[in-house]
């Protein structure tokens, strides 16, 4: 099983100079290849593949104004062309958007294959570097493994990270159990389980909001550079301060989601979630900020690969399944349920429902039914696909909801 281990490292001045030069060359080659492929398509309706861009790279290295490309390792330059080819393949298949040009202020990344690095006795040597990288080994690598690729990344906050991809044989499936759980994601409660538990949304952005707003105001007051003019040092300091705060928000969110998803996967054999179209949901300008801060997409992504690692089952329920409007006791379906309604009384059986807990119970029943073979699973005594009902019922708003 391939697994990436990410570490922070602190390069020497000589290493940082070489790595920054490498990242700049990677960014230049990627952007030139992207521009060439774009022009070829719009002008001649021609699809340029990886082999053609690889030949172009050889030509660029021979040009006098681009001769500096020979001063860095050729492996990251070839790898960025492969990444561009993969990006175009995903675009033509409809799995991703059109590739974007790389920008210097975003940092950058360079990937080294086995021919461009050496890992020995817990030390990592990159091509054209005489000294090993000063890596902070926050967790040990599995014994007797050799990285297949090494990716060096500089983020917008100026931090250096290295990611080692290894074939990890230490990941073993967890002991099977009979527990199954349905998860309903939200904004106030990040996760509501079918057992009635609610995990409060930490709202990491709001925790750093005042500091971020002040830093962004300071950045806005700094003079912006004109085209062809180098940015001032004060503006660069202000930009990096904003980037550091944003990095803390992202790190806090990622750490919280990792702890939450790990606990869910360890305790349950089957996990059922709703297949939400987060990209479409963030188009709502009233909820886009809260949805993005909650990290629903990252939550489901972590559940996917962790279930695969530890032998668990993840079931995704269709997004059009009326989990909130369906009574988990008798199957009665309401026609309309606004987001402001956090609780309701079923007209069919009189059960008082919490909106999120009821949705989690319905998701669990639907997920178990879709995963079952040859039999029907019921939700609290009622079939999950009952016949039609008239949309009559009582809705009551929560005390904190707006009229």
Active site residues: 184, 274, 356
How far, in Å, are 70, 129, 131, 155 from residue 12 at the CA level?
A: 22, 10, 9, 17
Helix pair 74-92, 13-44: axis angle to 10 deg: 40
Cβ atoms of 147 and 164 within 8 Å: the answer is yes
* Rounded Cα gap, residues 226 and 276, in angstroms: 42
* Rounded Cα gap, residues 226 and 19, in angstroms: 27
How far, in Å, are 197, 276, 330 from residue 353 at the CA level?
A: 14, 22, 12
User: Distance from CA of residue 100 to its chain's centroid?
Assistant: 18
Closest CA to 355 of 322, 389, 318: 322
Look up residue 399 and give its two tokens.
């005390």
The three-state (H, E, C) secondary structure of 247-271, written as one string: HHHHHHHHHHHHHHHHHHHHHCCEE
Phi, psi of 41 (to 5 degrees): -75, -45
* Rounded Cα gap, residues 110 and 88, in angstroms: 19
Largest interatomic CA distance in the chain: 81
Chain position carrying tokens 């940082």: 16
Burial class (CB in 10 A: 0-12, 13-18, 19+), 112: buried
């Amino acid at each position: 099983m391939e697994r990436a281990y990410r570490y922070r490292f602190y390069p020497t001045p000589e290493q940082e100079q070489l790595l920054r030069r490498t990242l700049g060359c990677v960014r230049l080659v990627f952007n030139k290849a992207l521009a060439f492929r774009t022009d070829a398509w719009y002008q001649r309706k021609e699809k340029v593949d990886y082999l053609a861009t690889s030949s172009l790279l050889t030509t660029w290295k021979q040009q006098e104004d681009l001769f500096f490309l020979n001063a860095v390792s050729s492996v990251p330059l070839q790898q960025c062309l492969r990444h561009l080819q993969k990006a175009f393949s995903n675009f033509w298949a409809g799995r991703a958007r059109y590739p974007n040009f790389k920008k210097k202020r975003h940092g950058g990344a360079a990937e080294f294959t086995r021919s461009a690095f050496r890992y020995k006795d817990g030390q990592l040597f990159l091509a054209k570097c005489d000294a090993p990288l000063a890596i902070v080994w926050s967790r040990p690598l599995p014994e007797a493994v050799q990285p297949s690729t090494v990716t060096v990344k500089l983020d917008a906050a100026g931090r250096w990270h290295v990611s080692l991809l290894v074939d990890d044989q230490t990941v073993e499936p967890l002991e099977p159990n009979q527990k199954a759980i349905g998860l309903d994601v939200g904004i106030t409660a990040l996760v509501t389980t079918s057992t009635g538990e609610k995990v409060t949304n930490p709202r990491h952005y709001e925790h750093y909001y005042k500091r971020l707003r002040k830093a962004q105001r300071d950045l806005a007051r700094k003079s912006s550079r004109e085209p062809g003019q180098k940015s001032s040092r004060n503006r660069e300091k202000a930009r990096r301060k904003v980037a550091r705060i944003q990095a803390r928000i992202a790190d806090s969110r990622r750490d919280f989601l990792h702890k939450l998803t790990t606990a869910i996967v360890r305790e349950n054999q089957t996990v059922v979630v709703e297949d939400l179209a987060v990209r479409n949901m963030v188009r709502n300008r009233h909820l886009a900020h809260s949805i993005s801060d909650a990290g629903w997409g990252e939550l489901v992504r972590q559940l996917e690969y962790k279930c695969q690692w530890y032998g668990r089952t993840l079931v995704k329920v269709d997004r059009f399944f009326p989990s909130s409007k369906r009574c988990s006791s008798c199957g009665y379906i309401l026609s309309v349920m606004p987001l402001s309604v956090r609780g309701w009384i079923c007209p069919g059986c009189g059960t008082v429902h919490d909106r999120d807990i009821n949705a989690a119970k319905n998701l669990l029943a639907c997920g178990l039914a879709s995963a079952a073979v040859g039999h029907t699973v019921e939700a609290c005594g009622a079939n999950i696909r009952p016949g039609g009902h008239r949309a009559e019922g009582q809705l009551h708003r929560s005390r904190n909801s707006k009229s």
